Amino acid sequence: MTQAIHNMKCGKAPGPDNIHLEFINNLGPSGLKWLAVFFSTCMRLDLLPKIWRKANIIAILKSGKDAKVPKSYRPISLLCVQLKILERVVLSRITPYVEKCLPDFQAGFRAGRSTIDQVLQLCSIIEDGFQLKQKTAVALVDLTAAYDTVWHQGLQLKLLRTIRDKHLVAFTMETLSNRRFVLRSGVRRKFEWGGFIHWRMVSIVFGVRCL
């Protein structure tokens, strides 16, 4: 938990409970111990505080887009910082299992990898084909609203096949269920996307590489 807190950046907008990460960073040993016990209780009972399931959605108008068209806005999700810390703790536990089943060409949302790896691999394939006087075709697929359209039952099944820890899978699914949000209009600022786990989940359920 301490490592998860250390890896998070301060200066971000708070979630619905208005608790900033700076508050957590300034907790003493007793406060951190209480928070760790509270997290353990949540995971043991597969329960989350109701407010942690709520998100403030800030709609940011994209540059040069029509303000009357809903698709012209970029939604930014602001979650409770305690939930984001807990999600990072859960992520650290499931990552060793997930890493074993991901193919080598999967670079998105993996430590030590980036789109540069994908570009280099693509260039290498094209060069090899050129040397063999072959043509190389590339198909780029963009999944629209991938997170919002994930089949949760299928995701749970794949997680059970990958992790084989029913309790950890059950709690992971609990963090994804019964989410609520409040939509607000906003000005252009730098916010952090909420939901630290979900892109790794998208990679598992669709079985595709994420750039």
Q: Rounded to two decimals, what is the model's pTM? A: 0.73
pLDDT tens for 156-193 read 898 898 887 888 899 988 888 888 888 875 544 433 33
* Residue 6: closest CA among 64, 79, 88, 83: 88
Instruction: Identify the pLDDT of residue 59.
Output: 85
Distance, in Å, from the CA atom of 195 to the CA atom of 84, rounded to the nearest integer, reads 7
- CB-based contact 84:194 (threshold 8 Å): yes
DSSP-H helix ranges across 46-151: 81-101, 115-131
The number of CA neighbours under 13 Å toward the Cβ of 56 is 15
Residue from 194, 148, 160, 204 nearest 53 by CA: 194
d(CA 23, CA 11) in angstroms, rounded, equals 11
Q: What does the block give as tokens for 54?
A: 């709520």
Cβ atoms 61, 73 nearer than 8 A: yes
The strand order across the sheet containing 54-61 reads 73-78, 54-61, 180-185
Q: Report in angstroms the alpha-carbon separations of 194 from 15, 18, 167.
A: 9, 15, 24
- In this predicted structure, the answer to whether residue 91 has a pLDDT above a threshold of 70 is yes
In the chain, the amino acid numbered 210 is C
Tell me, what's the pLDDT at 73? 85
75 forms beta bridges with: 59
Tens digits of per-residue pLDDT, 37-68?
A: 999 999 999 899 999 999 998 888 888 888 88
Greatest alpha-carbon span in the chain: 67
- Token pair in block for residue 32: 């951190």
Strands 73-78 and 180-185: unpaired
